[in-house]
Structure 1
Amino acid sequence: MSATTGGYYFAPPSKWPVVGSTALLFLGAGTVMWMNQIQPYGYVAQLVGFAILVYMLFGWFGNVISESESGLYNKQVDASYRWSMSWFIFSEVMFFAAFFGALYYARVFSVPWLADMDNAFLWQGYAAKWPTLGPYFEQNPALVFQSMGAWGIPALNTALLLASGVTITYAHHCLIANNRKGLILGLAATIALGAVFLGFQVYEYVHAYSDLNLKLSSGVFGSTFYMLTGFHGFHVTLGAIMLTVILFRSIKGHFKPESHFGFEAVAWYWHFVDVVWLGLFIFVYVLV
């Protein structure tokens, strides 16, 4: 039913969820084969999955944009989207909270328990410290690692994301003021800052792996470090993709000062990514 008739718009049946699930199947299977060194099938499956995913994103985004620009969404639909995006971000907050909780539990409870008197006869000489490989693996000098310092690349990345929060807010104010040039400039700057952040993150991983011997297998610290920073990097990548879509839509003249939830949703998501990184910077880098 069209919003112009006063009813609530229901989208017709869509193939895109099935297409997206197929892409994830290929990506997951390819990753498993890659981890188990089943080549070249792993790479092929990953490439196929990535190609299907790109196809799905273009198609699904295109459908939603066409519906919005056709005037099919009324205030009820807008309210539904706002609640949906709010709950989606809340679910992401809970996901990160679980891993922050795992980091807290390991550091505050598990490591001291391994070093207390009850376990002294099992791990003689083990002293509670953080970061740690654990009492067993610390006996192997080849596995000893160094943690990443906070005031190099991590601090620079923090400044980049904080600056991107300013530029996306500037773009929003320009949109409300019907300043199309400022809107496009702010979005482009935000995307550029996100891309530089990801570049530094990749460099940091290479440095940590090759120079600091910090790997995914480096005990609970290595696991939580790569899980938290890697999953956050994935969210930055996803946010940059959404911002790119919003940028092209803005160039084409989409969004109005009084109606632009597509922009707002992406801005909410980007601010969420910024806040999560601040938590990462404090608890993963500074308080080591």
Structure 2
Amino acid sequence: MAQAESGYYVPHGSNWPIIGSVGLTSLVIGIALYLEGMGLGLWVMGAGGALLIYMVWGWFADVIRESVGGLYSAQVDRSLRWGMIWFIFSEIMFFGAFFGALFYARFLSVPWLGGEDPATSRVLWDSALLAWPTAGPGNLGLDWKPMGPWPLPTINTLILLTSGVTLTVAHHALKENNRRRLITFMWMTIALGLAFICLQAYEYYEAYAHLNLRLDTGIYGSTFFMLTGFHGVHVLLGTIMLIVITLRCMKGHFEADSHFGYEATAWYWHFVDVVWLGLYVFVYIM
């Protein structure tokens, strides 16, 4: 796979940006129509989602062809790396906002509403003392249970940590040009990612069916599902990325000294692992 010597490759005549804009606009309009109770909303939302999938598929296929064709120079490689770094930084800020909401509710809002003076709390909330985990003063007396760390969250933690190890082994195999080990450990990583998603789906079933823990279970329910749900979406996206990269590995698209597409996916997956460790500590244990 040859690489351009110099210059910066700029594609011309690409229709993907306008297709993506139309798809995204249609998706948002469809969601708004659906929330207003209009039957047309589902059709518009579906058409917008289909356009976005078509855009992502086609645009990424073009990028892969350009990369394999040797159209990217060292400068393009550097800009792609910086682009991925800034993307992961934006993801850190994304989850940081949600962790901030959890910390505010737990360490500031709930203690303030509970009142430092028990007598004050009795006056405000009819003798009920607020302490984390809580559904909030509006749901006092609600019969529900918080999600504990055992067994599903702990098992999922071990699964994600193991997937980080298998991905690292696969990365070293790529650097050593050991294709068999590379592909084997990549599929192992994908299997672990799918196992995590399945177990989290079962965890949500347990929460709704047996713990009466729902998205509307006050502040605890909203922060729990907000953090774990968005993380689950990221695991799903990361698994899709791993599948694409593995298929590219099987086609021989990456070389031992030139494989940023692989590295970018590995960065993203390790980021997802680190976020889960934070979730496991602050949501399930503390």
Q: TM-score, normalised by structure 2?
A: 0.91
Q: How does 1:240-279 map to 2 (within 5 A)?
A: 240-279=239-278
CA distance in 1, matches of 2:271, 2:21: 26
Q: Is 1:131 matched with 2:125?
A: no
CA distance in 1, matches of 2:133, 2:37: 30
Q: How does 1:137-152 map to 2 (within 5 A)?
A: 137-139=139-141, 143-152=142-151
CA distance in 2, matches of 1:28, 1:233: 22
Q: Which residue of 1 aligns with 2:173?
A: 174
Matched residue type, 1:19: I
Which shows bigger deviation, 166-175 or 113-122?
113-122
CA distance in 2, matches of 1:32, 1:133: 29
The offset of 1:71, in angstroms, is 0.8
Determine helix, strand or coil for the equivalent of 2:80.
helix
Q: Which residue of 1 aligns with 2:10?
A: 10
CA distance in 1, matches of 2:84, 2:48: 26
CA distance in 1, matches of 2:186, 2:170: 6
Contact 2:6-2:74 at 8 Å conserved across structures: no
Q: Is 1:52 matched with 2:51?
A: yes
Contact 1:133-1:144 at 8 Å conserved across structures: no
Gaps of 5+ in 2: none
Q: Which residue of 2 aligns with 1:89?
A: 88
Question: Structure 1, residues 1-29: CA drift from partner, whole Å, max 9, x if none?
Answer: xx736212223353223333433344444
Pick from 98, 101, 121: which aligns with 2:123? Answer: 121
The offset of 1:106, in angstroms, is 0.6
Gaps of 5+ in 1: none
Which shows bigger deviation, 7-16 or 96-105?
7-16
Matched residue type, 2:129: A
Q: Which residue of 2 aligns with 1:103?
A: 102
RMSD: 2.0
The offset of 1:167, in angstroms, is 1.1
Determine helix, strand or coil for the equivalent of 1:14.
coil
Distance 1:101 1:17, change over 3 A: same
Q: How does 1:140-219 map to 2 (within 5 A)?
A: 143-219=142-218
The percent identity for this pair of structures is 54
Contact 2:23-2:48 at 8 Å conserved across structures: yes
Distance 1:13 1:217, change over 3 A: farther
Tell me the matched-pair count.
281
Matched residue type, 1:201: Q
Contact 2:114-2:131 at 8 Å conserved across structures: no
Distance 1:169 1:69, change over 3 A: same
Contact 1:113-1:119 at 8 Å conserved across structures: no
CA distance in 2, matches of 1:212, 1:230: 17
The offset of 1:161, in angstroms, is 0.6
Q: How does 1:4-83 map to 2 (within 5 A)?
A: 4=4, 6-32=6-32, 38-39=38-39, 41-83=40-82
CA distance in 1, matches of 2:243, 2:281: 29
CA distance in 1, matches of 2:33, 2:198: 26
Distance 1:153 1:37, change over 3 A: farther
Contact 1:158-1:278 at 8 Å conserved across structures: yes
CA distance in 2, matches of 1:210, 1:42: 30
Determine helix, strand or coil for the equivalent of 1:108.
helix
